[in-house]
Amino acid sequence: MNLAPAPKYRRTLFQAKRQNLHPGQSVSQNVTRKKPAPSSTGVGKLTEIITHDCNLSSMPLLMPLLAQLSRDDRWFAWVAPPALLPKTLLTDAGIDLGKVILLQPDSGHSAFDLARRALSAGTCHAVISWPGYLSEFELKALEQAAACGDSHGILIRGREHA
């Protein structure tokens, strides 16, 4: 089953930043939510995972981590995931799909741009991205965005992009 996002999700994620919303709240509601205070628990950091391929089904050790990350009260953004993500694989692993927001790059937004914006928005607890090759400048920009948004960034890249 293809979990490709509808274009409205990208809009919703960044509109939610302006309105301080969390999953389950509508963008049209005027509910305020305080941004969490920065902590020293590793929030605002990037983790890189280098694999021989980017297929989630070949990374069974990653699934419990993703399930845990989906339990926070903020969004869990997935940027440019593999084309087909079996919904049953994700739900069987305990991932709360109600808190997952999928962002796909297009001609106006690269995977790097989407990940940077999602990390800095403050509306995502974690952002997992399949960005391909990133320069040192782009890695530093993602680290800064994660710190700004008090988010965790997880980059999954194949060996050829490391």
For the chain, domains (ranges, CATH) are: 41-161 (3.40.50.300)
Q: Stretch 3-13: mean pLDDT, rounded?
A: 46
So what's the pLDDT on residue 159? Answer: 75
Measured distance CA(129)–CA(83) in Å, rounded: 13
> Kind and range of the H or E element at 143?
helix 136-149
pLDDT digits (tens, 9 = 90+) for 86-102: 788 889 989 899 999 99
So what's the pLDDT on residue 69? Answer: 85
Measured distance CA(85)–CA(98) in Å, rounded: 15
So what's the pLDDT on residue 132? Answer: 87
Q: Which amino acid is at 136?
A: E
Measured distance CA(99)–CA(73) in Å, rounded: 8
Measured distance CA(19)–CA(3) in Å, rounded: 26
So what's the pLDDT on residue 115? Answer: 97
Q: Output 126 or 4, whichever has higher pLDDT.
A: 126
pLDDT digits (tens, 9 = 90+) for 84-143: 677 888 899 898 999 999 999 999 999 999 999 999 999 999 999 999 889 999 999 999
Which residues neighbour 129 within 8 Å (Cβ) at sequence distance 6 or greater?
A: 78, 79, 80, 111, 114, 115, 153, 154, 155, 156
- Whether 10 has a pLDDT exceeding 60, the answer reads no
